[in-house]
Amino acid sequence: MSDKHVILNVNVLDLGISPVAWQLSGLPKDAVVCGDYFAEIGRIAERGTLDAFFLADNPALRENPRLRPGRALEPTTILATVAAATTHLGLIGTLSTTFNDPVELAERLLSLDHISAGRAAWNAVTTYNLAAGGNFGLAAIPDRGARYRRADEFIDVVVALWQAAADGTAVNHRGAHFQVDGRLPLGPSPQGYPLVVQAGGSPQGRALAGRTANAVFSAELSLSAGLEHYEQVKRTATEFGRSRDDIAILPGLITIIGSTNAEAEARYALARELQEPGHELSRLGAVLAHDLGQYDLDDPFPPHVLEDLDDPDAFSASLGFRESVVRGVADRVAATGGRYTLREALLEFGNGGHRRVIGSPEEVADTIEEWFRAGAADGFNLMPDGFPSGLEIFVDEVVPILRRRGLFRHEYTETTLRERFGIGPVHARAVVPAHT
């Protein structure tokens, strides 16, 4: 990866990562179905010379719409809108290998890469949401092993189609899940073809990332955990014959920023007052696979909740998030001699499995610099508590600090996302003539 600057993407989750983001934003809930909203977020990110605009996806109604406006627009539609509103900003869209067709997806993303002049990337995920399965006629979601076996072949087919577009050849694939004969009606994009991003934290997900991904969206809460994960994925990449520089490690970073630490703490306190009662308890319980409502909030955190799962494959949610939170809570329990309470855990871990910084612009910059210089991250996927203010304060107050420290660009110099991430170019392979 580039040693010139930290990679900084903005992860645009509805109106923000906070459960009361719509109240922090001052925008109507239906802003998330308006292209102008996403275009403006893209323009703010580009003003700060951020690397890319990152979109999640979940092809089902995800949350109670009375409480949170689950995003209803399809990712590549949003990214095409952002592409038209920006000139340099990368465009990373999440699309599932469980519910899509590889040929259609390959054409859709390569089309986005063409119209954006080489700024696109695909975040390949395996979906575990049962509601999404129902939308596609499934009574049950395939287990983790089955999802990743399909994902392995799916990514291979997509990349083969993209490479064939660069080569001017056809694909002839026969696999357990797909049979493909032919080629896309497109040639190579200005960067050859889109980058591949991976966000799985399970052993299968990390292996898939090491083999195929150009970037990994990880969930690590401590510097020590970040260092371990960084080395693990880089080492896996080399085991597949790749260079360590072929893959960027980008942890999620939740930011709650104020001009001062006190202002940031007040912003966080207000958000906790506004959220639905019991939200943190149910959210943390879902991550840990335990009903936490049976415990007294002021008793020591129940240690058995942190034990290994009897059958990890039966756990349908994210193993990466669970591993991250289990380690984080266990560290706190150990540091306090077992006096760490469930109430304290809810305050610290009740709203997600990503690292969170509540503080001034200097404190946010300090965290980014510490992880980058220590070798725990090549950059971050930023997750502001609420848009647009959470992103604006990062762009206006954190970015200048990073620039003064020599950690971030002052202007865009690369033309494609592949160049910006320091990934090598796509080369057309020589076509060997058939013997006659």
Phi, psi at residue 371, to the nearest 5°? Answer: -65, -40
Q: Which residues of the chain have pLDDT under 50?
A: 1-2, 435-436
Helix 223-239 × helix 319-335 angle, to 10°: 140
Residue type, 67: L
Query: Considering the entire predicted model, what is its pTM?
Result: 0.91
d(CA 109, CA 365): 33
d(CA 388, CA 399): 16
**CATH match for 7-261+354-420 among 3.20.20.30, 3.30.930.10, 3.30.70.260, 3.90.470.20:** 3.20.20.30
Which pLDDT does position 183 carry in this prediction?
Answer: 96
Q: Is 66 exposed, middle or buried, given 0-12, 13-18 or 19+ CB atoms closer than 10 A? A: exposed
Which pLDDT does position 353 carry in this prediction?
Answer: 76
Which pLDDT does position 350 carry in this prediction?
Answer: 84
Domain chopping of the chain, boundaries: 7-261+354-420, 263-349
Which pLDDT does position 383 carry in this prediction?
Answer: 96
d(CA 277, CA 367): 31
Which pLDDT does position 1 carry in this prediction?
Answer: 45
